[in-house]
Structure 1
Amino acid sequence: MAAGEELFDSILLADEKYRGEGFREGFQRGTRRGLQGGRRHGAAHGSRLSSEVSFYHGFAITWICLLDHGSDVKSRKRLKALEALLGLTRGYPLNDPQSVNLQNNTEKLRAKFRQVCSMLNVPTDFKEYVHTTEGTTF
């Protein structure tokens, strides 16, 4: 090969070489940023979900203590529903965020909470009473 052809080939190969290096570097940076963003999103979502489950747990325990001395039929039904809500919070898979039943368990928990609130004749919207801190980190 002539020197001119080698120079031309090196120019063509340089373009291809730098394009490939740029792609690999960009892909690595994007992967790192994606993982970081995913972790932040997961931590924030997990924090909100665990706060919600903790709220239901505390709600059930408080009402069980308040209704513990009632012996009429209505109080017994309320206690049974509260104990079912408490059982759902205790059986919630907080330690397994990849559980297949996580969404189903969340829906059951929220439905049971609404049922209990209806039985107790209390509102189901506690947004004014529950304050969450934005930017919670672990």
Structure 2
Amino acid sequence: MSEQRRSDDLFDSIVMAEERFRGEGYKEGYERGAHRGLQEGRRHGAVHGARLSAEVSFYHGFAVMWQCLLQNHTDPKSRKRMKAVEALLSQLERSPLDNPQSEKLKEDMDKLRAKFRQVCSMLNVPADFRDFFKSAQGTSF
């Protein structure tokens, strides 16, 4: 009977070892996956944030440049254009873009893009600057 009990204990320890190893493997895999997911999420967030920041900075520089160009013009058309440029600058200042977890971030960016397109239309300037960026990359000083 004691030999039967030993073989049962041996069998139980083998079965339990399999369960234990499966549990440890699951735990280790989960921890590694969570860690890797955080790393990839941070990298993706940094890239996306940099693109968003570059876009907002471009809008700001664009508006400041046009504000400088239009400041000495007093005709009604130029005043209307200046008002639109100032509205874009005001919207840029009001937008809480420093909080990447804001639920309004997408909505605010959509409004900024729409205002930018409106200002471009009033200034008779194309709103698509992809060709400009391509040619600027080839320029060397």
Do these two structures clear the TM 0.5 threshold for a shared fold by scoring above it? yes
The count of aligned residue pairs is: 132
Which residue number in structure 2 is paired with residue 112 of structure 1? 115
Structure 2: gaps of 5 or more residues: none
TM-score of the aligned structures, taking structure 2 as reference length = 0.90
Where does residue 37 of structure 1 map in the other structure?
Answer: 40
Give the TM-score taking structure 1 as reference length.
0.91
Structure 1 residue 88 displacement after superposition: 1.4
Distance, in Å, in 1 between the alignment partners of 2:69 and 2:103 is 35
Percent of residue pairs bearing the same amino acid type: 60
| Residue among 11, 15, 18 paired with 1:15 | 18
The structure with more radius of gyration? 2
Please tell me the residue identity of whatever aligns with 2:126: P
Match of 1:136 in 2: none
CA RMSD of aligned residues (A): 1.4
C-alpha offsets along residues 48-69 of structure 1, whole Å, 9 cap, x if unaligned? 0010000000000000000111
| SS across alignment from 1:93 | coil
Query: Aligned partners of 2:8, 2:19: CA distance in 1, in Å?
Result: 17
Structure 1 segments of 4+ aligned residues over 4 angstroms from their partners: none
* AA of the residue aligned to 2:106: Q
Which of 69, 91, 96 is residue 94 of structure 2 equivalent to? 91
Aligned positions of 1:1-80 closer than 5 A: 2-80=5-83
SS at match of 1:129: helix
Which ranges in structure 1 are unaligned for 5 or more consecutive residues?
134-138
Higher relative contact order (CA 8 A, sep 6+): 1
